Chain A
Amino acid sequence: MLRLPPLDVVVAGSLTDALQQLTTQPAARPLLGGTDLVANLKTGQTKAKTLVALGHLADLQGVDASGEVVRIGAAVQLAELARDPDIQALFPALAYAVGRIASPQIRNAGTLGGNLCLDTRCRFINQSDLWREALGGCLKSHGKECHVIPGGGGCVAALSADSVPILMVLGAEAEIARLQDGALVTRRTPLAELYDSDGRRHVRIADGELLVAVHVPKLPAGARAVYRKWAVRQSIDFPLVSVAVRVDLDGAGKLRQGKVAVGVLGPRPRLLTLERWAGRAIDEVLAKQVAQQVFDRSHPLPNVLYDHEYRRERLRVEVLRALRTWIAPAESER
């Protein structure tokens, strides 16, 4: 069987301790549920000497919906989040999206913070040592060339986190902590700016920093979001097509503003706005125009294990179907 390489596990005593451990311990990485990290350590695609366990830290817990902005701790388990009554009431599409991540067992261990920091995925990297050795490596492992885009200079492994597109259209911000002169300080970054286009390091969280929470503003009246995921299987799979659509309607039922976030392209989700359709009613014609624009501006790559041209076609249909929920509101959000 595949085993973890020898490494150390440090259970952090506090957030401050965790931040210290991460900078002082050799080749340290933060560990929440471990459902992504442990797999990647076992296959050897990720290296670490120390894992700093954070899952129990109080600062990373809880869903607080008392204010105008909902705070979700990074260590909140996906299963917990999916069944949280506040999340279900305020952001049903988020509850749905995290409820579709992987499998029940993984949702019982995996966390929202872990999903936001999920490593990018590619059919040339998510493989065994033998496989990657036979390939000669790639930009993200020990090699020098990209097999997705031959001759390409950057790693284009795909962001595959189900929670990211939906949190982006909801306008979420990441709360990131670090130590400054021994004192704990935090910064906020909109999710739309959290991701970078380098698949080797696509989350803009610096060494010595930790994601501690996500803040999601409550939706104004007339606003709603929908998440759609396509994968071959109904369970276990990462998304092959992943898209979130948000529409804010005005009092007259016309489009005030809207956003579309597309995942599983490259390392960074694509965010589009619907401003050119502002003032229009959502009908099949508009839905098709939006779907076409998303299609035109999104280029799935042969990075994950499915025909990329089909994924592009599929994306068009998924956007269309998301928008149709505004045309026929009785239809489910799925």
Chain B
Amino acid sequence: MKGPLSANATARDLHRLTVDDSPVDETPVVGSRHGRVDALDLLTGVGKYADDLVLPRMLHCKILRSPHAHARIVNIDTSAAEAMPGVHAVITGADLPMRYGVIPWTQDEYPLALDKVRYVGDAVAAVAASSEDVAKAALARIAVEYKVLPAITDPREALTRSDVKIHEENKHGNISKQVTLAFGDVDTALTQSELVIEGDYQFHGSTHAAIEPHCAVGHVDGRGLLTVWSATQVPHYLHRELGRVLQRPSHAIRVIQPPVGGAFGGKSEPFDLEFCVAKLAELTGRPVKCLYTREEVFLAHRGRHPFQMHYKTGFDRDGHILAVDGKSLLDGGAYSSFGLVTTYYSGQLLGSPYTFPAYRFDSTRVYTNKPCCGPKRGHGSVQPRFAIEVQLDKAAVALGIDPIELRRRNFIGENTQTIGEFHIGSSGFLQCLDQVEHASGWRHKRGQLPKGRGLGVAGSTYISGTNYCIYPTELPQSAVQICLDRSGRVRVFVGTSEIGQGSNTVVATLAADELGVELEDVRVLAADSDLTPVDLGAYSSRGTLMAGNACLAATRELATKLREIVSEIWNCPAGDVGLAHRKAFRLSDATVWMPIQEAFILAESKLGTLGAVGSYKTPTQNVHGDYRGGTIGASPAYSFTAHVAEVEVDEETGDVTVLSIWCAHDCGRALSPTLVEGQIEGSTYMGAAEALMEHHRVLPSGLRTDGQKRDTGPGVEGLLAASSLLDYRMPTSMDVPELCALIVERPDPRGPRGAKEAGEGPLHSSIPAIANAVFDAVGVRIDDLPITPEKVLAALKRKASQTAEVR
């Protein structure tokens, strides 16, 4: 039969999707150029973010925060606030006396402080009032009596001081987590090394600074269902914690994640405002909204941990790594957050892309009286990656080996294991190095650039999701439900959190190809706990691999049904039916085709309503080590990255300008190349900003351990140096280098259509590539981030005086 199938009776009255008569187009949607499927919603101002939601009779919540870095709460008197007209409810820690925390083993936070405050900004009480103005005025009428305690702001002090304990119930002083893991005989290998590079590296704190401030709305409806809309990237974990803290069964809670205006890890655990709006909605029977001020976003933080690192790396004369010995002190801030994972990641994620014949890491995370650190894009591994990549650069210089070549020599390979027994599948790391070498003109430029200009390289790797859920479970990590119907549309219900990274587009792309529709025919409904199956959330770069595989499982089941039904009509084997671009067609003769809508109608009339579910669980055999901690940081598949940065250093001022930065990233398969480029560019920019400008800095304590007064004087301890988007200087459009994104595709059998992550990996090596380029330009090392003009200038002066002495 040639041409479109004549309309059958059941379909005659229905609206038809336009299908042209042109030949079947078999070009896959995967890999084609397209933007976000939901972009126009946001671009026209139609999409409703959390603060765009307004419910009838909605109240506004404001949270009272501690002005002390460390204090015991002696008394709270809310009566004056409660008496104010327009105030509907005031709650304190006693109203929500349940600990929470994203990691079940380290829950150490209360929605509102119960007996102690542990940083300036810790939540103490919350008000629901008729307007934000009234709520704010009511906060001023809450009288809190504090007994101020000595505070710790220096992580080294946290290790040594026994008189101050930030969490009384903690067994090990102020140590939040300590991990030591050793593989092979590190000490012997170091003694036998031709060259040992040893150095201290300081990685400063930085924060996510998504443009959308955190916001949540809570509402209990007439049926007793609590609904919380929140700008979160982990609606499922929020759902669990709301249940625990509010003592409410899961089925009586609905969490909806509206479009989120950026997150980067900063919205990946529950926050005080979500519990407060839920509790206040329960108490008042009215919807309650809480929108953070920008300062509150800085206080909520959960940003990159400051690391003090000491690294020793041994090499043979050819530049092969023989041993790595790393010691890190992590400044965790007031609470645990993801800190247990961060501490493991600080060592476990360093095991590739280079072979470490012997490896030891010793990482300690401490509590301090500062905003809590947590996961920021490239969680836990950006800091040690900086150290090791600078170590490699120093070795290359010492041994006279080209730094790219040195990295090639140490490449771990594919289908292999790291020393920590993580299984590495596909790896396009060598291709990444080739690409940045070529694109940057490395070979003809290196060493030939004018004075003050330099090139630097670095490499890295990252996970495509972690092998295990944050809580112990045998349940799937991601799932989808898919429905097809007579309209020719595909509906995908998926739990993933779209936060701008394009997760809705990823599933749409995969579904479009499998089911033979166009991208615009796929409706993705995401992250609504009443309507979508569970996905663990947008963290650890898990979305593409996990939701993608779940989506493929469901769509493939449906596609099989469609093929069978169509093959019966055409009297051909089901394997001869292809589905693409709104057509079902014979693979052996593409002139035989029918509109895909006809195929859906045929299938629906024969089989009833068309639906399928798919879910994904990570493989557990031979992917990680059996030792304690051997599972943390293991992933089904790893991405690989290389950066080359070209910088210009002004030797009079110390200014460092990144002129261009090339990033090649192996994402396995680029399902949506435009979006992958966006992730590469965004990650690279964020890394460059951390390298040169951004600093989430907390002012130090007024007193030193020896009782001597510090320069900063009393009063400032625990305060943020920069808590606005004016003072926290993140780059404007006029401050960014030329960003060149290069996609490398080394498909991984574990990824959907071969795809791996792209959202976090491309941040890592951006920072050491810049640091290494600064050395190439002017011969000074800044191992203490960020690389600011005053540090460069001071280093140049030191170098000049040393040179003078030698003469």
A: which residues have CB within 8 A of B?
1-3, 6, 103, 123, 126-128, 130-131, 133-136, 147, 150, 230, 232-238, 305, 307, 309-310, 313-314, 317, 320
Q: Is the CB of A305 within 8 A of B715?
A: no
Within 8 A of A (CB), among B751-792: 788-790
Stretch among B42-50, B86-94, B187-195, B727-735 lining the A interface? B727-735
What residue in chain A is nearest B712 (Cβ atoms)?
A147
Q: Is the CB of B726 within 8 A of A147?
A: no
Q: Which residues of B contact A317 (CB under 8 A)?
A: 652-653
Tell me if B181 is interfacial: C-beta within 8 Å of chain A. no
Between A and B, 19 residue pairs with Cβ closer than 8 Å are A1-B291, A2-B293, A6-B133, A123-B727, A126-B724, A126-B727, A128-B293, A130-B65, A130-B67, A131-B720, A134-B120, A135-B715, A147-B713, A147-B715, A150-B713, A232-B693, A233-B734, A233-B735, A235-B733
Q: How far is the CA of A136 from the CA of B693 in the complex (A)?
A: 29
Q: Is the CB of B721 within 8 A of A131?
A: no
Q: Is the CB of A305 within 8 A of B721?
A: yes
Q: Which residues of A contact B654 (CB under 8 A)?
A: 310
Interface residues contributed by chain B, number (CB under 8 Å): 41
Q: Which residues of B contact A123 (CB under 8 A)?
A: 721, 727
Majority DSSP secondary structure for residues of B touching A: loop
Tell me if B723 is interfacial: C-beta within 8 Å of chain A. yes
Q: How far is the CA of A232 from the CA of B729 in the complex (A)?
A: 7
Q: Is the CB of B715 within 8 A of A307?
A: no
Q: Which residues of A contact B121 (CB under 8 A)?
A: 130
Q: How far is the CA of A232 from the CA of B295 in the complex (A)?
A: 21
Rank and list the top 10 A-B pairs by shortest CB-CB distance, nearest first.
Answer: A234-B734, A310-B790, A134-B67, A235-B732, A136-B715, A135-B715, A232-B729, A133-B67, A128-B295, A235-B734
Q: How far is the CA of A235 from the CA of B120 in the complex (A)?
A: 30
- The winner among A131, A230, A238, A307 for most chain B CB atoms within 10 A is A131
Q: Which residues of B contact A310 (CB under 8 A)?
A: 654, 789-790, 793
Q: How far is the CA of A84 from the CA of B174 in the complex (A)?
A: 61
Q: How far is the CA of A6 from the CA of B136 in the complex (A)?
A: 12
CB distance from A49 to the nearest CB of B (A): 15
Q: Which residues of A contact B293 (CB under 8 A)?
A: 1-2, 128
B: which residues have CB within 8 A of A?
65, 67-68, 120-121, 132-133, 136, 213, 291, 293-295, 652-654, 693, 712-716, 718-724, 726-727, 729, 731-735, 788-790, 793
CB distance from B720 to the nearest CB of A (A): 8
Q: Is the CB of B136 within 8 A of A131?
A: no
What residue in chain A is nearest B293 (Cβ atoms)?
A2
CB distance from A130 to the nearest CB of B (A): 6
Q: How far is the CA of A113 from the CA of B303 in the complex (A)?
A: 40
CB distance from A123 to the nearest CB of B (A): 7
CB distance from B235 to the nearest CB of A (A): 23
Q: How far is the CA of A232 from the CA of B68 in the complex (A)?
A: 30
CB distance from B548 to the nearest CB of A (A): 37
Q: Is the CB of B68 within 8 A of A3?
A: no
Q: Which residues of A contact B726 (CB under 8 A)?
A: 126, 236-238
Q: How far is the CA of A150 from the CA of B714 in the complex (A)?
A: 10
Q: How far is the CA of A2 from the CA of B295 in the complex (A)?
A: 9
Q: Is the CB of B729 within 8 A of A233?
A: yes
CB distance from B738 to the nearest CB of A (A): 15
Q: How far is the CA of A305 from the CA of B652 in the complex (A)?
A: 21
Q: How far is the CA of A307 from the CA of B654 in the complex (A)?
A: 13
What residue in chain A is nearest B797 (Cβ atoms)?
A313
19 more A-B residue pairs beyond the given contacts A131-B719, A305-B721, with a C-beta to C-beta distance below 8 A: A2-B294, A3-B136, A123-B727, A127-B723, A128-B723, A130-B121, A131-B720, A133-B67, A134-B67, A134-B718, A135-B715, A136-B714, A147-B716, A233-B734, A234-B735, A235-B735, A307-B788, A310-B793, A313-B793
Q: Which residues of B contact A230 (CB under 8 A)?
A: 653
CB distance from A231 to the nearest CB of B (A): 9
What residue in chain A is nearest B64 (Cβ atoms)?
A130
What residue in chain A is nearest B650 (Cβ atoms)?
A317
Q: Which residues of B contact A127 (CB under 8 A)?
A: 723
Q: Is the CB of A233 within 8 A of B723?
A: no
Q: How far is the CA of A232 from the CA of B728 in the complex (A)?
A: 11
Q: How far is the CA of A230 from the CA of B650 in the complex (A)?
A: 14
Q: Which residues of A contact B723 (CB under 8 A)?
A: 127-128, 131
What residue in chain B is nearest A148 (Cβ atoms)?
B713
Q: A313-B793, A317-B652 are in contact. Are A134 and B733 (CB under 8 A)?
A: no
